[in-house]
């Protein structure tokens, strides 16, 4: 059977690949995308989960990147108010610290005025002796600056871009590895293999997009036979999750004596997320895991600020990911550029676009710039459209979250408040479709632990390419924090018994 020809074939189901696929299909291109694992299972789910301008990037004079990121904060918030929301960050100041007060004030002034802020509150100064934000910190921090950025459920941002791309007509292939790509008569011939069944398919496309993140150089070498010079600098970032260290919805921005910074962020109601580290990485990115040195670093750095020290015994979960930064020759990992670089190779009039670097906050603009290069190579279609679009479930006002929760509880009175809040945070208005017809808790199906039930698992398998328990408990939800090993095993058996119900 001959597969249809595509205009664009995207390799990589992280945020950049899914963002490019969504933008392209929305303009009228015929698009296919293949991801060798689960969507967002690499770098894109291992972030600090912020939609932010990158305050510290100002020190490296990356004004273009910071301005673009600042402008994107409210654009993305409007696109997906269920999985993105504003957060205030408290930056404690100590006289004689790493950065003088005037420099911080200057940075925050630029932060407030570079990016067209309209809804996010401006920076202000806090008296930590009176403000509740000072309570969990050591008393030596009497002053702080408070500024605005945003929070995002990173893995869900990826899968919702994939979902929307599919809904608009793109062919989205999960757990499908690209085995080879070759140029033939002005077209790409792409052979892929289903990682679950071993079945192979062959596609043709006018243009190939290599958005494989940390594997971008590896894809060039192994699937295309190119002896590419190393163009990606792999930098590992690790995070720890501990039992809640403070009350409230504000996060903290801590400056360390080595000029690095870490965040301490409210996480999943009962926890605090602390990270990240920055260190060069060698090896296969899939094997990235936190090191004892990184654990010690994060605990020690946080303990410099918190009155109650953070120890390794407090840790309930860790995660690590490798960021594929463009190799600009920076001497230190934390100094390497976070900006993205798009390079076109049009050998034999068969174009290839390689995507290097990037960050969650700028993924939509990266996709727009990628589409500009695609249009130059194979002809333009449509016009920019994503800035005013909504991701699935995000069709409500940016300040309408509580109203959606109230509506969901009114429609399904048996739901507990915390459960309803989590469902709206994850699925937005799609939660109503998920629960359609449910009149009692029994209608939610099998109970797996936490507040995870069969109806939600079934939904994720049918609508969001979830195939394994890990997909559900760590990427589509964070119920892994609340499920026991035995409960996860039961979930794995349940999902394995329902292969025919999966969309992939």
DSSP codes joined into one string, 148-205: EEEEE-HHHHHHHHHHHHHHTT-EEESSEEEEEEEEETTEEEEEEEETTT--EEEEEE
Q: How far is Cα 414 from Cα 411, in angstroms, rounded to an integer?
A: 9
Question: 156 near 60, Cβ under 8 Å?
Answer: no
Beta bridge partners of 238: 320
Residue 156 confidence (pLDDT) above 80? yes
Look over the chain and give the mean of its residue pLDDT values, rounded to a whole number: 93
Residues in the chain: 504
The confidence score (pLDDT) of residue 1 equals 52
pTM of structure: 0.96
Task: Give the sign of the dihedral formed by CA 371, CA 376, CA 377, CA 382.
Answer: positive
The confidence score (pLDDT) of residue 333 equals 62
The token duo for 112 is 């407030």
Return the H-helix or E-strand segment holding 299: helix 292-303
Is beta strand 447-449 parallel, antiparallel or unpaired with respect to 352-356? unpaired
The confidence score (pLDDT) of residue 504 equals 44
Helix 101-114 to helix 63-79 angle (10° resolution) is 50
CA distances (Å), origin 166, targets 160, 169, 235, 480: 10, 5, 31, 27
222: Cβ contacts below 8 Å, ≥ 6 apart: none
The confidence score (pLDDT) of residue 499 equals 67
Residue 301 confidence (pLDDT) above 60? yes
Question: Looking at residues 13-28, what average pLDDT do you find?
Answer: 98
Question: 65 near 357, Cβ under 8 Å?
Answer: no
Q: Indicate the SS3 state at residue 481.
A: helix
Tally Cβ neighbours within 10 Å of residue 394. 23
Angle at 104 between CA 101 and CA 109, to 5 degrees: 125
Return the H-helix or E-strand segment holding 410: helix 401-411
Return the H-helix or E-strand segment holding 146: strand 143-152
Residue whose entry in the numeric block shows the structure tokens 């939600």: 456
166: Cα within 13 Å, side-chain hemisphere: 19
Question: 342 near 370, Cβ under 8 Å?
Answer: yes
The confidence score (pLDDT) of residue 149 equals 96
How far out from the chain centre does Cα 202 lie?
Answer: 30
CA distances (Å), origin 204, targets 188, 200, 350, 404: 5, 14, 11, 44
Backbone angles phi, psi at 82, to 5 degrees: -80, -40
Give 230's pLDDT tier (boundaries 50, 70, 90).
low
Backbone angles phi, psi at 106, to 5 degrees: -60, -45
Angle at 249 between CA 361 and CA 39, to 5 degrees: 35
Q: What is the pLDDT of residues 233-262, one digit of tens each?
A: 899 999 999 999 999 999 999 999 888 899
Q: What is the pLDDT of residues 36-92, one digit of tens each?
A: 999 999 999 999 999 999 887 887 778 888 999 999 999 999 999 999 999 999 999
The gap between the terminal CA atoms of the chain, to the nearest Å, is 19
- The torsion angle over the Cα atoms of residues 332, 337, 338 and 339, rounded to 10 degrees, is -170
The confidence score (pLDDT) of residue 61 equals 75
The confidence score (pLDDT) of residue 257 equals 87
Domains, the chain, in order of start with CATH, read: 5-43+155-231+338-388 (3.50.50.60), 85-151+233-329 (3.30.9.10), 401-501 (1.10.8.870)
Residue 395 confidence (pLDDT) above 90? yes
Q: How far is Cα 390 from Cα 404, in angstroms, rounded to an integer?
A: 16
Give 487's pLDDT tier (boundaries 50, 70, 90).
very high
For the chain, how long is the longest CA-to-CA vector? 72
The token duo for 442 is 């029994």
The token duo for 62 is 């990356």
């Amino acid at each position: 059977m001959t597969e249809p020809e595509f205009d664009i074939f995207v390799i990589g189901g992280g945020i950049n690949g899914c963002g490019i696929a969504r933008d392209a299909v929305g303009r009228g291109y015929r698009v296919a995308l293949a991801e060798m694992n689960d969507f967002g299972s690499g770098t894109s789910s291992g972030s600090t989960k912020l939609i932010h301008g990158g305050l510290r990037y100002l020190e490296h004079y990356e004004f273009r990147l910071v301005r673009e990121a600042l402008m994107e904060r409210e654009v993305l918030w409007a696109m997906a108010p269920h999985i993105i929301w504003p957060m205030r960050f408290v930056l404690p100041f100590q006289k004689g610290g790493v950065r003088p007060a005037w420099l911080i004030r200057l940075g925050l002034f630029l932060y407030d005025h570079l990016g067209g802020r309209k809804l996010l509150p401006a920076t202000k100064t806090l008296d930590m002796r009176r403000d509740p934000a000072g309570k969990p910190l050591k008393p030596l921090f009497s002053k702080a600056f408070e500024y605005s950025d945003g929070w995002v459920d990173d893995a869900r941002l990826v899968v919702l871009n994939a979902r929307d791309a599919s809904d608009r007509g793109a062919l989205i292939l999960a757990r499908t590895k690209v085995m080879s790509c070759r140029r033939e008569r002005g077209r790409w011939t792409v052979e892929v293999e289903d990682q679950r069944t071993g079945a192979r398919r062959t596609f043709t496309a006018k243009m190939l997009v290599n958005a494989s993140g940390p594997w971008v150089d590896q894809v060039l070498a192994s699937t295309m036979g190119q002896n590419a010079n190393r163009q990606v600098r792999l930098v590992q970032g690790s995070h720890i999750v501990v039992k809640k260290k403070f009350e409230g919805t504000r996060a903290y921005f801590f400056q360390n004596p080595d000029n690095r910074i870490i965040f301490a962020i409210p996480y999943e109601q009962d926890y605090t997320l602390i990270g990240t580290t920055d260190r060069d990485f060698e090896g296969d990115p899939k094997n990235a895991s936190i090191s004892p040195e990184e654990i010690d670093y994060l605990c020690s750095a946080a303990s410099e600020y918190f009155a109650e020290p953070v120890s390794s015994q407090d840790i309930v979960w860790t995660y690590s990911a490798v960021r594929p930064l463009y190799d600009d020759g920076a001497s230190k990992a934390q100094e390497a550029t976070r900006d993205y670089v798009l390079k076109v190779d049009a050998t034999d009039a068969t174009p290839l676009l390689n995507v290097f670097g990037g960050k969650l906050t700028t993924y939509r603009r990266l996709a727009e710039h990628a589409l500009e290069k695609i249009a130059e190579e194979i002809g333009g279609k449509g016009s920019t459209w994503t800035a005013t679009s909504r991701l699935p479930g995000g069709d409500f006002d940016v300040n309408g979250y509580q109203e959606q929760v109230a509506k969901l509880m009114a429609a399904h009175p048996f739901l507990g408040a915390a459960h309803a809040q989590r469902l709206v945070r994850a699925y937005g208005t799609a939660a109503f479709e998920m629960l359609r017809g449910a009149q009692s808790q029994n209608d939610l199906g099998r109970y797996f632990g936490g507040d995870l039930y069969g109806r939600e698992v079934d939904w994720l398998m049918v609508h969001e390419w979830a195939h394994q328990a890990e997909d559900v408990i760590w990427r589509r939800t964070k119920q892994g924090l609340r499920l026991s090993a035995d409960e996860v095993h039961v979930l794995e058996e349940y999902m394995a018994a329902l292969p025919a119900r999966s969309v992939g």
